[in-house]
Every structure is written in C-alpha cells, then in structure tokens.
Structure 1
C-alpha cells in the first residue's frame, strides 16, 4: 500500500512539471524558436498627380496638380526638358500643389513629389507626361489696339491668320468686360474673323477690356491657338455723321444735337455702281492725303486731302475742290462724300476711328462684303452668326 501511494504522488508531480513547462514555452516563443515577426503597416499617405504618369497629348492649358491624402506635401517639382521648374503653389492645407503657368507645346515634363503622412511616414511619387504638339499654331490679333480712343460704332475684331474650324471653341475663349453694362454679341464674319458689337451704339466714355485666351485652344484639324491676346480701350464722345444723299448735306451730331453741317456732293444718283450706298458704316482710317486710283473710270494717282475711309468698298469722306461747283448742289462723285477743303479739314479733325456714318437716300445699298460691315446687319441677323 505504501509503494502504490508513493507512485501516484510521483506521477502527479511529473504532470505538474509538464504543465509548467508548456505554459512557459507559449509565453517565450520568438524567432529563435521558429516564430515570424508581424509585418510593418504601409504608409497612410497616398500621392497622386494629374496628368497621370505617361499621359500623352496633354492640353497645355491643363494645370498640373499633385495631391496627397492622409498627409501634407513637403516638396513638389515639375520640370521641363531644360530642367526649368514649372511655377506653382500649395493650398493652405498643403494637400494640393497646382501649377500657375501654362505648359509648352510638344514638351515632356517630369514631376517628383514628397509628402509626410499623418502616421509620420514619408512617401514619394515620380512620373512624366507629354503635351500635345500642334499641326499648326494659329495667331490672332485684336482691334482696337491698347489705349485707343474710338467712336461709339467701333466693333471689337479678332482676326486669325488661318481658318478656324471649331468656331465655338475659339469664341468661348473670348471675353468682353465693360465699365458700364452694354448688351452685345459675337458674330463670325468669316472663318478668320469674329467681331463683337453692341446692340446699339456704345455709351460714350465706356472703358472696355478684351481677353482672347486662345493659347492651347484646339481650333480643329490639329491646329491650336498660338498665344493669348488682350486689349483695353475707351469709347470717346458720341459723334455720328448723317448723310441723306439727295439733300447734298453732311450733318454731324454730338449726342442728340447737331454740331456741324457741311455742303457735300455724293455718288452719282443715276448709276448704282457710283452711288454713295445706303447703310451704317464707320470711320475706318484717317489720311491727311490719300491717293485714289480707278482705271475703270479713267483716273489714277489722284491726291485728295483730309480723307476718312468709311468702307472697304471704296467710299471716303474727303476734300474735292475740283468738284466745288457741285458741292451742295448735285451728286457727281464716284461714291465718296466730297467736301470743300476747309470743311473736310474741320470734319477730319473732329473724327475718331469708329465714328458711325449713316447714309440714306441712295438707289443702292452698301454690300456686306467688307470686313467692317457690322452695322449693315440687323441685330437678329448679327446674333445668328454667333457660334455659341
């Protein structure tokens, strides 16, 4: 009996030792015992860029942006093929960097960005992209020029040095700002010219700013705008000329009042080809001495003083002392408004480019073939020529 009890006690002791060893092994297991370390958590910050890496035919007007989520940007560099950095800046939160300058045509750009994550871990992003290469860069010009003072009939004219297929895209890049509210509209007079005119004559003293943000605009057919152009000008006093051709008188109005009246001789009434045609035109240019040639009617190199061109059809207001006997009495010119020299000089000195000239009473109408025929179209017809 004693031996049996002793044996059972020993077994119990042995069992107790095994349990202790097992518990000790579970608590101390590590790589030395064949264990695997826990993987490190990935950085929280995520960097992205637009245009994306390896993008091609990127618009030069598309801003480059680098954005970080769950972190802040520490450094962003976008460089052109010459290693020059593209200007740009961060938002107040330092989560978005945006370029501040348009890209160049047909160039490759690289970007490199660094950010610090909200978990303290840094992240980096690199990439490159390429911009669109135009088939042709089309240049545009604006009229009136900077700081000009013009008459109340002056249109704004945008002329392109090649045809524009996508007129809507080009027109949407054009903007007019005025110091006083003015109703007006754009109209395409050809595939190379888009003009803006007010519904009625400009209010005098209006300040006008024109922006043609055409760089990077796709005109269709692989052609793009060459550059942005702007102009600012001022509308002068309200002066309008009125000529009713049978009256042989040219009247000048300032505002609603007649300020001058000059006897004149206009185009021949009997020949529609020689009329001073009906319509509202504008003073297009001023020449102290102009040379007139028309072999069809037998004259060349004829010089006349104080000439104001009023159309591209061939009409001027100018001095013609050789026609003095008919001035104020009969219409005998080849389409121009003839004045006595003193009167021509007085009017010349008073005129601004863009002053309206309203002609009535002739047997023919002014043709709408000139590139300055804005006021020959009624308002509804004008608006119908818009591409937007």
Structure 2
C-alpha cells in the first residue's frame, strides 16, 4: 500500500459557498494536491439549500431537487479538475464525496427516541455515472450507527498528515462552523494523550449571514466591516452563554443551530444596535469561543489554521491577541493550502475506504469503535 494513487475529494461545508474539489496523489503516508477547483452553487440552488437547513413546508420535494442539483455541481467540479490537469477518469481510483450537509442532529431530542441523524445531499449515483469514476460517499452515518456524532471526520486526516513527532499542535478550521483538532506529539511520552477534535461553535456562518443582511456580496472581506464597529459586551456575553459552548466533547453542530434565528433569540433587542457593532460582536463570539477551546490544550503552542476564515485578517489578528502564547500560522506552512484541507480530507477518506482502513477516530466522535466509513457507488 506504499504506492501512490489518484483520488478526488469533494467538499462543501456549512458556508454553502459551493464545492471545493481536489485531485490528489495519496499513499499511506502522504497526500499531495495536483489540482484544485471551486464551483459555486447557482443562486436558485443555494437559496433552496439554505431554506432546507431549517424545518419548513414541502421539504421532501425540495430535498429531491437539491439532491440532484448538488450532484450536478459536484460532477462539474470533477470534470473541470480532469480537464485542467490532463488526467483521464480511468486514472482516478475513486472520488470521496462529502455531499452538502443540510441537517445534522447528533444528539437525541428530548421525547423523541432514535432522533439522532445526519443528512447530506448530492446523489453519488449521478456523480459516478456522469464522471465514470467510482464514488465513495455517506461517510458520516456509519460513525453515528456506532454511537458517534458522525463529525468531525477531518481529525483522522489531520492526525495522519499533519502530526509532528516533536510538538503538540492544534489544527483550527474556520469554515462556517469552527472546529479544532488537538494533535499530541507522535513521540510523546505521555501515554494518556490522544487526538481530540470537536466543533467549537460558529466561525463564518453568523458573520456571513449578518453581513448579507445589509450588504451585497457573500462575506465581510478581511473583516473590514467588523473593524468599523464597536464590540458590545452585552451581546457577546448573551451569545457565549448558550449551553453549546460549555458542553464537553465529543460535540458537533451546524448552521441549523447557529443562524440568525439563534442570534435573535439570544439578543432580543438586536435591532437596537448599530449593524456594524453586531458584526464586531459576532467576530468576538467566534474568536473567544475558539480561544477557550484552544486554551484547554495547554501543551500545544502552535495553531495551524485552514478554511475561509484564515483570510479574515481581523479575525486572525484578534485570535493572536487573545492567544499570545500560541504561534498561529496557516496550514500552508505544512505544504497544504488552507482552502484544500477539507476536500483533501475526503480524498483521503476515499483512500481509507478503498484499502478497508478506519476513517473515524472514536476519541473524537464518541463512536464505540473505529470503522471503515462510506458506501461505494460504481459507474455501471
């Protein structure tokens, strides 16, 4: 299993800004990106996806439509990767497709037994038949069947590819939701240390949603609007008092929880504040919740950041101020572009499936056992 093989990873996260796709050469010890592309969702499809993140009418009809629509965009991303890299479909071992999460309920609802579930759309049958490449998909539900949260899954990849023999590190993904992975030094003499990973709370999802309410464009570039506002301590504290932040890991969440409806419930007098002040406050909610999680692992001194939030200069500066004893750097310092990490993780998970190796980490997700994750769909 030492030889490299080509895999494609497809990932669209909680920001729902479209699919990130990578073509990568992967072995048991390395994962190297050959090509990358990003395909945004068409506006009508994005609107349907955002609507499906909360309960409403005609959900089954909408689900069927977005299931196919997301698969088409994912397929287009694969075709673009192959065309720009001069690689034929026959040369690719498999595609790892995360799909698009539209609902993630990792814990039981009171009074509703068997109510834990996770749902990703993007029919792998469409992707496989259109690209003529085997597709591994549905990575999360095996972990949930084993009692886990089904998320986060990237920590297993972080452990395999980003661990250091000499120093403990933290990988921080600033997507729509923020999550961290604690990676102990692989040569650590502390036998009690293990890899830990969990969602800390919102990263970009609230910032982006609030920005779009008042501006054109998808997000607050470099945090410029947040810089113009004054953080409101009452708003910050009201948000951080949400029970999710004090939950012990394993834990995971999504935009179906952290959204503008949630914000309005935490801050009933929301519209009494200047909009830029709310943006500045939300940035502090992200920074402080992330910092609290990171500070619970004092043996680490380096934080490797990936995801779209790495380009929010104000957010990164704020994190550096709150965490002065940590060195904060992009995953690019480890030769993985910060926008490639998540898609590369699902290419790696497809590789794990192909070789019948575990893709989850029970200490991270809470599953009863490590397991091979995913289901295979063949082109014909």
TM above 0.5: no
Higher relative contact order (CA 8 A, sep 6+): 2
Structure holding more strand per residue: 1
Larger radius of gyration, structure 1 or 2?
1
TM-score, normalised to structure 1's length? 0.24
Structure holding more helix per residue: 2
TM-score, normalised to structure 2's length? 0.24
